[in-house]
Amino acid sequence: MRVVITIQHPGHVHFFRHPIDELESRGHEVHVFARESDVAIELLEAYGIDHEVLAGESGSLLSLATVQATYEMRLLRRAQRIDPDVITAIGGVAAAHVASVLGTKSLVFYDTEHATLITKLAYPFADVICTPSCYREEIGSSQETYDGYHELAYLHPDRFDPDPSVLEATDLSPSDTFAVVRLSSWEASHDVGHGGFDDPRDLIEKLEDAGVSVLLTIEGEPPSDLESYQFTTPPEKMHDLLAYADVVVSEGATTAAEAAVLGTPAVYVNPASLGYTIELEDEYGLLFGFNGSDRHTRALQKIDDILEEPDETWERRRNRLLEERIDVTEYVVQRIEALAHTRAMNPTPATNTS
């Protein structure tokens, strides 16, 4: 069968890279198309995934609309030549639109309830929408749920084994206690209502007072007095670092969830609670979310509690999670193959685009 996969974010590369390997090993033809976004293209190249870049990055909401339109038109032309059985994506705006024009099947994966613009543009056109069972929105007859998280497509132990050599690159040893701190843009961390830390310096001071080394990653340029905490590692090595950290503190949900499924306790400071962040906290005790006016203080207090817990606590909680959640790569491949079979049995005529 022929499969088209669209990539518009670095996380999409992680999610699909193992399904791509599985599909190709089974003799299927896989075509990957991408839009430049952060380090997405760098990751595709690092993993050796053949791909074609159809559009560049966007610097504003207005330019995003233009870039997205360009991306969709170019994807349509490529897909017309390929005649895919399935077009799949995360979010799936372009995938769902192009598939509906060509009369092929679209398979959308998503886990972010509050991304309403994407869902309004993609969901009405998608044939199948797969969401984690903890997803809090009811989509309709096209929705299918599964017992897992996006992060388990690439961080399940059947797919990922952390490499300790990543510690050498950051001048750490296996015996060192360290934290990975992931902050959103510096402005967002200080703007009222954005939900980040009041002042990251308090966080760093708290960690250092507890004997914890700090590795900082931040969107945009940090203040000069925090530059020394920034670290450099290839983007494909970030998950190795999360696996060996003693605690991860993040203003971003994906990084917090990645740490949690790896068994590294995560402190998540952001007003956006998602189905998967809630479940990782309430059901498994591997993620701790904080919002509201006192989020900064409560998050700092929680770090003390985390550091006092023995490693066995997090290992035990992760083992339970893995017992109850699936290898998402296996699920993704199964759904792609099943949908392709459905299309073969019931072909839909394409819309005339001439």
The residues spanned by each domain of the chain are 2-157+327-345, 165-324
Between CA 268 and CA 308, with CA 280 as vertex, the angle to 5 degrees is 65
165-324 folds as Rossmann fold (3.40.50)
**pTM across the whole model:** 0.92
pLDDT bucket at 38, cuts 50 / 70 / 90 = confident
Is 284 or 342 the better-scoring residue by pLDDT? 284
Residue 302: predicted pLDDT: 96
Please choose, from the candidates 303, 305, 279, 276, the residue with its C-alpha nearest in 3D space to the C-alpha of residue 150.
Answer: 276
- Give the DSSP per-residue string, 177-219: -EEEEEE--HHHHHSTTS-S-S-HHHHHHHHHHTT-EEEEEES
CATH class entry, domain 2-157+327-345: alpha beta
- Give the DSSP per-residue string, 8-70: -SHHHHHHHHHHHHHHHHTT-EEEEEEE--TTHHHHHHHTT---EEEE---SSHHHHHHHHHH
Token output for 45: 């190249």
Q: Rounded CA gap, 308 and 278, in Å?
A: 23
Tell me what the mean pLDDT of segment 106-122 comes to: 93
Task: Please determine, for residue 96, whether its predicted confidence score (pLDDT) is greater than 90.
Answer: yes
Is 61 or 244 the better-scoring residue by pLDDT? 244
Tell me what the mean pLDDT of segment 96-117 comes to: 94
Mean pLDDT of all residues in the chain?
91
Measured distance between the N- and C-terminal CA atoms of the chain, rounded to whole angstroms:
26
Token output for 232: 């450099």
Do domains 2-157+327-345 and 165-324 share one topology? The answer is yes
Tell me what the mean pLDDT of segment 161-173 comes to: 91
What are residue 237's phi and psi, to 5 degrees?
Answer: -100, -5
- Give the DSSP per-residue string, 97-163: HHHHHHT-EEEEE---TT-HHHHHHHGGG-SEEEEETT------TTEEEESS-GGGGTSSTTT----
Cα within 13 Å of Cα(152), Cβ side? 24
Task: Please determine, for residue 347, whether its predicted confidence score (pLDDT) is greater than 70.
Answer: no
List the strands of the sheet with 86-90, edge to edge. Answer: 52-55, 29-35, 2-7, 86-90, 105-109, 128-132, 143-146
pLDDT bucket at 191, cuts 50 / 70 / 90 = very low
What are residue 36's phi and psi, to 5 degrees?
Answer: -65, 130
Task: Please determine, for residue 220, whether its predicted confidence score (pLDDT) is greater than 50.
Answer: yes
Task: Please determine, for residue 25, whether its predicted confidence score (pLDDT) is greater than 60.
Answer: yes
Please choose, from the candidates 83, 113, 161, 125, the residue with its C-alpha nearest in 3D space to the C-alpha of residue 279.
Answer: 113
Location of structure tokens 């498994």: 284
Specify the DSSP class assigned to residue 121.
H
Q: Rounded CA gap, 266 and 270, in Å?
A: 12
Task: Please determine, for residue 148, whether its predicted confidence score (pLDDT) is greater than 70.
Answer: yes
Residue 320: predicted pLDDT: 98
> Which one-letter amino acid corresponds to residue 267?
V
Q: Rounded CA gap, 44 and 24, in Å?
A: 16
Local structure of 88: helix, strand or coil: strand
Task: Please determine, for residue 195, whether its predicted confidence score (pLDDT) is greater than 80.
Answer: no
Tell me what the mean pLDDT of segment 3-32 comes to: 97
Q: Rounded CA gap, 321 and 74, in Å?
A: 41
Tell me what the mean pLDDT of segment 53-73 comes to: 81
Tell me what the mean pLDDT of segment 49-53 comes to: 97
Task: Please determine, for residue 138, whether its predicted confidence score (pLDDT) is greater than 60.
Answer: yes
Task: Please determine, for residue 221, whether its predicted confidence score (pLDDT) is greater than 80.
Answer: no
- Tens-digit pLDDT profile for residues 252-262: 999 999 999 99
Q: Are 282 and 264 in contact (CB under 8 A)?
A: no
